[in-house]
Structure formats: C-alpha cells, structure tokens
Amino acid sequence: MVYALPYICRPMDTKHALLQVAVEIFADSGWRGTTTRRVAEAAGVNEVTLFRHFGSKEMLLQAAIQWVAARDLPPRLPETPEHLGTELLGWGLGIHMHATRHAKVIRTALAEFEEHPELAPVACEGSASAGEDAVRYLTRARELGLIAYEGSLEAATMMLMQAIFMDGITRGVVSGCDLLPADEAVRAFVDLTLRALDARVVA
C-alpha cells in the first residue's frame, strides 16, 4: 500500500525546490555536508530526480549558488547624492540586512572558496558591484562639494562596507559583536565615516 501524495505537496516545481533546499543545506553544512540524499529528501523528491535535473552534485550546487545570488541583490545608492547622511545610512542598513539574511551562506562560501574557487566569482559579484556603487556615489558627492576629505574614497568605502559586512555575518556567532545592537552599530559606522570625510551633512 502506497500513500501517494507527491501531487499534493508540490508548492513550486521540482527544480526550484531542489535549488532552494540545496542552498539551505549548503549554508548549514558546507559542500561536503550537502549530500544528494539529504537534498533530495528535504525537497521531498527522489534522489534520482536530482541527478536527472542537474547531472551531478557539483552542477546542482553551482546552479544553487548562482540562483540565490541573482535573486536577492544588495541595495543601491542614488545616482546623485542629495541627503548624504540619510542616503548613506539607508544604504548601510540595507547592506547589513542583506549580509545578515545571507550570513550562513556567505560564511560557508567564504570557507569553500579554498576548495571550490569556481564559486567565488558568481557569489561575490553582488558585493563587488555594491562597493563600486558606493565609491561612485562618494566621488560624486565630493565633486558636489559635500565632502572635504581629499584622501582615497576607495579606502573609506572599503572600511565602511567591510565593517558593516563583517558585523552582519558574524553577529550572534562571534562573541564581542553584540556590544551594540545592529542598527545602532551601522548608524555609528556611517556617522564615523561622515566625520572622517568631513562631510557637510544636509539632512
């Protein structure tokens, strides 16, 4: 006797279910921990179906990382700065939220780059473009006379972004990050950056 309910609980098609579950298990357990049996079982799908869709574990994981990276992009800054303080704070909070939301995958991917370098470009694309975005924004702000600092805006951007990013992916995992609540920390980082840049904050 078989209780056949596959056609009952199939919220999205098989392929997307497998991608979603693969990302989650990868985030929790890394490359080696993501076994095809676990993924198939968690997706409510036969293991053979997994191989029929993706061919191999490697292709499944690459597709999964690519899929999740393309689905949720980090926030962007406006083309021309108007309210430096407000805009940069909103951006910082967005980056932090983005990092927190994907903290587990990011931490895992960061470790797996050693053994699976092919993951790096697709996984880093988002944060790289966010950095370029911020540099462009600050450069424009300096052109507009909103920033007096004459040093490297790349360095200032890197400092702000890396601090926010690191806070986002380690919060709750590493002791010593919880001295300040998340949004207060981001606010402080943005404030300190604007002070360092001698910014004339308008709003």
Partner DNA sequence: ACGTTTTGCAAGCACTCACTTGCTATGGTC
Partner DNA sequence: GACCATAGCAAGTGAGTGCTTGCAAAACGT
Is position 6 an interface residue for DNA (rule: CB under 7 A)?
yes
Binding status of residue 46 toward DNA by CB under 7 A: yes
Closer to a second copy at the Cβ: 83 or 158? 158
Rounded CA separation 47/39 (Å): 8
CB of 102 to DNA, least distance (A): 22
Give the separation between CA 61 and CA 26, rounded to whole angstroms.
8
Q: Are 64 and 119 in contact (CB under 8 A)?
A: no
| C-alpha to C-alpha distance for 162 and 108, rounded to whole angstroms | 17
134, 91 contact by CB (below 8 A): yes
42 binds, among a second copy, DNA, none (CB under 5 to 8 A by kind): none
Distance of CA 124 to the CA centre of its chain: 8
Footprint of a second copy (CB under 8 A): 27-30, 32-33, 104, 107-108, 110-115, 120-121, 124, 127-128, 131-132, 149, 151-152, 154-156, 158-160, 162-163, 165-167, 169-170, 173-177, 179-180, 184-185, 188-189, 191-193, 195-196, 198
Q: In angstroms, rounded to a whole number, what is the distance separating the alpha carbons of residues 105 and 196? A: 32
- Nearer Cβ to a second copy (51/149): 149
Q: Which does 192 bind (CB under 5 to 8 A by kind): a second copy, DNA, none?
A: a second copy
β-sheet bridge partners, residue 199: 147
Q: Which residues bind DNA (CB under 7 A)?
A: 2, 4, 6-7, 13-15, 34-38, 44-49, 51-53, 55-58
